[in-house]
Amino acid sequence: MATGPVRISRVDKSSIDWTVLVQVIETDRVKIARDGDLSRSFHRFQFGDFQGIKVSTVVFDDAVIIVDGLLLPFRKYYISNAEVHEIPELVGTGLYSFYWVINEGTITEESAASEELALPFYFELRSFQYFHFMADTDTLIS
């Protein structure tokens, strides 16, 4: 593991030898993208830190096997030295304008739950009384 943890917001393309304590907020299933005869498998995650900053993360091809069964929802991990890429302007960004790619050089280590502060609650809860406003929209209600 690299030197002491920093916040997600402090990690950018010029960061070297960084470590962040994150909580897995969402994990998707492994998907396969096809382009003609070529195919590429990928697995998406969303992480968050104790400040409420979120980062989208993706794992491609052979590295999918490395994280299979490792990054579980609601658990905390130290992530070190993932590739950092800027989110294209067309996509739009939230508070953090980068995404991470986990590869063979990325270090992931589960955090002992008792030694760290609790991370914020990430669910966006809505009252049932407002669901009718979203009924005829493309907004996902889960």
Residue 142 lies in a domain: no
Checking if the pLDDT of 84 tops 80, the result is yes
Measured between alpha carbons, how far apart are the two ends of the chain, in Å?
36
- Rounded mean pLDDT of 120-129? 64
Burial 100-121 (b: 16+ CB within 10 A, else e): bebeeebebeebeeeeeeebee
Q: What is the CATH number of the domain that holds 70?
A: 2.40.50.140
Q: Is 53 in contact with 88 (CB distance < 8 Å)?
A: no
The pLDDT > 90 percentage for the chain reads 31
């669901």: which residue's tokens?
131
- Rounded mean pLDDT of 41-70? 87
Residue 89 lies in a domain: yes
Range of the domain at 48: 8-134
| Closest C-alpha to 104, from 49, 65, 54 | 65
Checking if the pLDDT of 99 tops 90, the result is yes
- Rounded mean pLDDT of 112-124? 58
Burial of 78 (0-12, 13-18, 19+ CB in 10 A): middle
What are the φ/ψ torsions at residue 92 (nearest 5 degrees)? Answer: 85, 155
Look at residue 142 in the predicted model and tell me its pLDDT. 53
CA distance linking residue 113 with residue 118, whole number of Å: 8
Look at residue 100 in the predicted model and tell me its pLDDT. 95
pLDDT tens readout for residues 18-33: 999 999 988 888 888 8
Domain count, the chain: 1
Look at residue 140 in the predicted model and tell me its pLDDT. 57
Look at residue 85 in the predicted model and tell me its pLDDT. 93
CA distance linking residue 24 with residue 78, whole number of Å: 11
- Rounded mean pLDDT of 108-123? 66
Q: How confident is the model at residue 47 (pLDDT cuts 50, 70, 90)?
A: very high
Let me know how many helices (H) and strands (E) the chain has, helices first. Answer: 2, 8
Residue 111 lies in a domain: yes
Residue 40 lies in a domain: yes
